[in-house]
Amino acid sequence: MWGASPLARQHHLTQHRAMTGEKILEEVAARGWLLLDQSYHPALTQLIGATAPQRTAGVPPTDLRPADQAEARPNSMSAQVGLSEQPMHTDGAFNAVPPRLLIFECLNPGEGPCPTRLWALDWKRLTSERPVAISGATWLVRPGLQQAFYSQVLSCRSDGGGWVRFDPCCMTPKTNGVNADQTLAALRRYATATEVNWSTGDILLIDNWRCLHGRAEAACAPSRVLRRWQLGEDVGLGG
């Protein structure tokens, strides 16, 4: 995990020097995520500008700060878990189609270590095996003030594309014998886990259809700030 080895982290950052926006997307599509340093700010600006029409529902970037339950925005994950560790989840799982690409920029890593945890899913194996806990169960998705709808964790399209939707803070299983812990354990069997410890200026790109992520316990990093962009489906990552 990157947080455990500064040398490994530095190697990962330096090996991607001078990549274009197109190459960045190729790397994200291949592995599910990509960590870059602040020298990539121009490429980040170019990438966001090129995909601006696909920004989810026109939502501008959001600055994410740790918040306890009393201070958190209503209907947010922090309103349920506060400063505790977040469950692994899909960003925007309450949307009919979740955002495809997430971009996080670290404005302030905070006082203590507060990593972001990633599970990059083996999409080919997952869609081939389609375990019942992931593909056969029905969940009720409650998107705050919007109308609730039913969905499965794994959504597959005829072209081989699709996405994973999982967020126990806004999804409730409606199939007997299925629960969030069981489903998360099933997803873990298809995941390669990584941990990102932040430095100021770091940029993390996540394929939100192929990865789950979650913030570690955050009481030790009250000043931590990540700026997040959510971009829509047609951003160059394929199906």
- All residues at 6 or more sequence positions from 107 whose CB lies less than 8 Å from its CB, including other chains: 63, 200, 225, 226, 227
Q: Using an 8 Å Cβ cutoff, are 32 and 226 in contact?
A: no
- C-alpha 92 chain-centroid distance: 9
When comparing pLDDT for 171 and 73, which is higher?
171
Q: Tell me: the pLDDT tens digits for 180-205?
A: 999 999 999 999 999 999 999 999 99
Question: 32 in the Ramachandran plot: left (φ > 0), alpha (ψ -120 to 50) or beta?
Answer: left
pLDDT given for residue 52 in this prediction? 53
3-state secondary structure 106-175: EEECCCCCCCEEEEEECHHHHHHHCCHHHHCCCEEECCCCCCCEEECCEEECCCCCEEECCCCCCEEECC
* Nearest Cα residue to 9 out of 192, 199, 213, 221: 199
Asked if residue 160 has pLDDT above 90, the reply is no
Distance CA 71, CA 3 (A): 29
Q: Using an 8 Å Cβ cutoff, are 174 and 139 in contact?
A: yes
Domain ranges of the chain: 2-231
Q: Tell me: the pLDDT tens digits for 33-57?
A: 999 988 887 877 777 776 555 555 4
Tell me the residue length of the chain. Answer: 239
How would residue 22 be classed by pLDDT, with cut points 50, 70 and 90? Answer: confident
Topology, domain 2-231: Double-stranded beta-helix (3.60.130)
When comparing pLDDT for 57 and 238, which is higher?
238
Q: Tell me: the pLDDT tens digits for 89-114?
A: 999 999 999 999 999 999 999 999 99
Neighbour-count burial for 45-80, b at 16+ CB within 10 Å, e otherwise: eebbeebeebbbeeeeeeebbbbeeeebeeeebbbe
